[in-house]
Homo-oligomer: A and B are copies of this chain.
């Protein structure tokens, strides 16, 4: 498998964690988003959205969208599972993942912030935009964790929810928002103790600068 990604992209990072948890061998091709390499014609042929990540399979087929890719990996390599077995548990984990992947990350990613800048919004207001979106989203995420047991976002094993949470916390810090949510803090600590989460860190990737 070949992962098309970027070391600092949250969505690429999610897939790296899933690949590492599953122990799936893969190669990486890296795209410097700030230099627009993901907008090159050759990449747009693989992924018409021009977004990272994409996962290219041995037969050349290309999968896009980080959560869809993670669920694919979970289906072809079921251990360790990224989702619980029961439908309510699965819905809960998917919901936590989507709170981040649908309602936080897309609204604070580089593309949207650049769009704001191009409208003449000052840098400090753009930064406040990102902080506000992340804070509102993770406040709700923390409320979902409260009243639930377990060392991770759902139970005592890392799941798709944790795969989304850890990169999102890095984004929070990048925008000067130090995470202070107690339950989220414990979950992050549990994740960061795992070799798979360590191997997926941006600074450990071939394109890290």
Question: Which of A's residues lie within 8 Å of B, judged by CB?
Answer: 48-51, 57, 61, 63-65, 67-69, 71-72, 75-76, 87-88, 90-92, 94-95, 97-99, 101-103, 105-107, 112, 115-116, 119, 121, 125, 129, 137, 139-140, 143-144
Contacts and interface: CB of A to CB of B under 8 A. Distances in A.
A105 to B, nearest CB: 8
A181 B118 CA distance: 28
B140 A49 contact: yes
B103 A88 contact: no
Q: Could you say which of A69, A119, A125, A144 has the most chain B C-beta atoms within 10 Å of its C-beta? A: A119
A49 B99 contact: yes
Given A106-B106, A107-B112, A72 B99 contact: no
A67 B88 contact: no
